[in-house]
Amino acid sequence: MGHLFLHINVSLDGYIADTAGDIDWQFADDEFQGHIDELLESIDGMVFGRKAYEELAGYWPTAGDEVSATQRRRMRELPKYVLSRTLRATSWHNSHVFEDASALAGLEGDIALFAGGGAATSAVRLGLLDEVRLVVNPVFLGGGTRLFDGEYAKTALTLVDDRRFASGALLLTYAVGRE
C-alpha cells in the first residue's frame, strides 16, 4: 500500500462546509496557493467523495487564470479516485470509481484524500490513513458538514509538523498511530 493522507480545510469548530454546503470561507491567499502547488507536484493521486468529485469535475476541466498553471496541469493529469456507491462512470480525465473505501489500500504512491467527510470517515474507520493534514481556518461556522461523522475506533495521532500561513490559517500534520 502507498501512503494515504487526508489534506482538508476545516473551520475552528470542525466543519468542512457551511450550512449551505459552501467552502467560500476557506482562506486561499498566494502563500497558501503556493503550498497547494507544491503539494500537487508531490503526490501520485487524489481521492474524493462523490459529492466533492462532482463539484470539482464541473470546475477543474475549464478552470482559468484564477488558479495556477501547476494546479490546472496537475488536476488534469493526476489519477482521481472517487468513492461512490451510486456513480458508475466519470467524465473527468483519468478518473476512477471505487465502490468501497477498502479499495484505497491497493493504491501505490503518495495519495491525498482531499474532500468529503464521508470519505474521510470511511478511511479512518478502515484504518487506511497514514497521516492527517488539517488546514485549520480561523473561523467559526456554527453548523454545516462535519469533518468526521459516524463511528470509528479511538486512534492516537502525533503532531509531526505545523505551519502558519499569513492569513492565520494553520496546517497541522499528524501521523496516525497504529496500536
CA distances (Å), 169 to each of 8, 31, 129, in order? 12, 11, 23
42 is written with which cell numbers?
Answer: 508531490
* Helices (H), ranges, 2-160: 30-42, 50-59, 69-77, 117-125
Neighbours of 1 (CB within 10 A): 12
Give the separation between CA 9 and CA 24, rounded to whole angstroms.
11
pLDDT for the residue numbered 89: 86
Contacts of 123 (CB under 8 A, 6+ apart): 4, 6, 47, 101, 104, 113, 129
Closest C-alpha to 151, from 131, 171, 124: 124
Residue 152, pLDDT score: 86
- Which helix (H) or strand (E) is 137 found in, with range? strand 131-137
Residue 58 CB: number of other CB atoms within 10 A? Answer: 11
CB distance 108 to 44 below 8 Å: yes
Tens of each residue's pLDDT in the chain, 179 residues:
689 999 999 999 999 999 999 989 998 888 999 999 999 999 999 999 998 899 899 999 999 988 999 999 999 999 999 999 999 889 899 999 999 999 999 999 999 999 888 899 999 999 999 999 999 999 999 999 999 988 888 889 999 999 999 999 999 999 998 55
Half-sphere exposure for 96 (CA within 13 Å, toward CB): 15
- Of 62, 60, 94, nearest to 77 by C-alpha is 94
pLDDT at 178 (0 to 100): 59
